[in-house]
Amino acid sequence: MPEAADARRLMRVFAKLIGRHIEREQLLETLRREHDSYRAFALTDPLTLIPNRRAMVSELNRALANAERRGEVLHLAFIDLDGFKQINDAYGHDAGDRFLIAIAEKLQNALRGGDFVARIGGDEFVVFGPCSSGTPDAGRAAMRERLSEVTSGTFDLGVAGLDYAGPSIGAVNSSPGERDCAAVLARADEAMYAIKRSRNRRRVVNG
């Protein structure tokens, strides 16, 4: 049947509306993908590709809230890479970056179900997770020992092999019902520095 002029004009209008709707949906999908990408980037350390400090604070707050509801405690370890500046000075920043990436991979491989790892500073990492032992102190000690084992040994820096004695690791338990993220981190940081001072004293005594 022959199309009337009004019908053709109406079809052209509908075609334009449908085209604009499709373009709008495509634009929204592109914006959603970019938003997700930017959000992931904002929560990821660009060198090691593990979570950063911002992501760690958010996840630790959530984990503490869950632990409070369940009547549980968390183990948290603060890790400082002793001698990292000397590694950079001796082998260069590229080698230092390779070392940081290797440490991050070692820590990730040592995680258990429910554990979380983040790089929160230049040579500082945090690992935390739920207590999996009937004795929180024993579980904390086991966590610290596991992390110490995986972060010591020989590392390939590209330009040389490094025999690394391991970082200083301070590990603490959250208190029952504790929700203060900053307080838990501060205690772990203090425990880490106590380990560091003890290791430095041993080096002085041993010459």
Read off the DSSP letter of residue 66: H
The Cβ of residue 72 has, within 10 Å, a number of other Cβ atoms equal to 16
The rounded distance, in Å, linking the Cα atoms of 135 and 138 is 5
For residue 194, the Cα-to-chain-centroid distance in whole angstroms is: 24
The rounded distance, in Å, linking the Cα atoms of 168 and 78 is 8
**Three-state DSSP class for 138?**
helix
Q: Kindly state the tokens that stand for 90.
A: 């001796």
Residue with tokens 């019902």: 177
Q: Kindly state the tokens that stand for 103.
A: 């440490």
**Residue 172: which H helix or E strand, with range?**
strand 168-173
Q: Which of 80, 82, 123, 180 is catalytic?
A: 123
Task: Judge whether 97 counts as a catalytic residue.
Answer: no
Transcribe 186-197 into DSSP letters. Answer: HHHHHHHHHHHH
* Single-letter amino acid code for the residue at 6: D
Catalytic residues: 123
